[in-house]
Amino acid sequence: MHTQGSRVQRSKLFLWLGVVGIVVAIVGFTKTFFIPLFAGTFSAPPAIYIHGAFLFGWVGFFAAQSLWVHRANLRRHKQMGWLGAGLVAGVIASTLVVATLASQRTAASGDLSLASAELFVVMLEMTVFGVLVISAFLLRRRADMHKRLMLLALIASLGPAWFRFRHYFPPIDNAIFVYSLLLADSLIIMAALVDLLRERRIHPVYLFAGSAMIAIHLIEVFAFDTPLFRALANTFASPFI
């Protein structure tokens, strides 16, 4: 009975974090996307709309999958797996397209180094996102690892939404550190603490993959202007600009 209750409690955690993901995505993009869109003042290339559809579709997919598990409907959960694969591919492809367009605008203003660095960050983030989802798929028979890897993938996809929270508050120094790292990665810390309290240990997925995510974000924030980071960005990102 204790084991069954623990499983229900854990599934509730992922369900609620799925809801949090939806709220973060909606609130984050309300001022820069939804309000201008409904006001008829938003104008952007089709790639932006496609990217938004894939991103919100992915966040909704995670919440729905968590709901099926919570209701013990594993058959529906498995049936929707291929839909998730399509959404993930769409998120990665559309994100890279949108980031390339943005970096091209930055390069057109005369700062190719900055444009390359910005695109390189997105390439790193999409690599992390893709590795997490692929790992979750390969470990789908290990429910404890699968769901935590999928949660980390959700958290990885919410970085841009968290960063747009800056539009609701007065300007602060190093907004990327506060919104894209502290707020975004707070969900990793919270999930790890829940494990620590319930299981008396931090699950290896959070300990290793979660720590690696935080480390990469720290590097992106604090090494962004260093010669080494710019050199890597120039090597891997500038050919696409």
Residues 1 and 192: their CA atoms lie apart, in Å, by 24
For the four alpha carbons of 151, 153, 159 and 160, in that order, the dihedral sign comes to: negative
b/e 132-157 (16+ beta carbons within 10 angstroms → b): bbebbeebeeeeebbbbbbbbbbbbb
Residue carrying the six token digits 């991103």: 55
Total domains in the fold of the chain: 1
For the four alpha carbons of 101, 103, 106 and 112, in that order, the dihedral sign comes to: negative
pTM: 0.92
pLDDT at 184: 92
Kindly state the tokens that stand for 142.
Answer: 């290990």
Alpha helix locations (H) across 72-111?
Answer: 74-79, 81-108
Kindly state the tokens that stand for 117.
Answer: 């660095």
Q: Which domain holds residue 19?
A: 2-240
**Helices and strands, counts by H and E, the chain:** 13, 0
Kindly state the tokens that stand for 87.
Answer: 């959404």
Residues 145 and 230: their CA atoms lie apart, in Å, by 35
pLDDT at 149: 98
Residues 54 and 185: their CA atoms lie apart, in Å, by 22
Chunked mean pLDDT (size 10), the chain, 241 residues: 41 87 96 94 93 96 93 89 93 97 94 96 97 96 95 96 94 90 94 92 96 96 96 96 90
Q: Are 203 and 192 in contact (CB under 8 A)?
A: yes
C-alpha R_g of the chain: 19
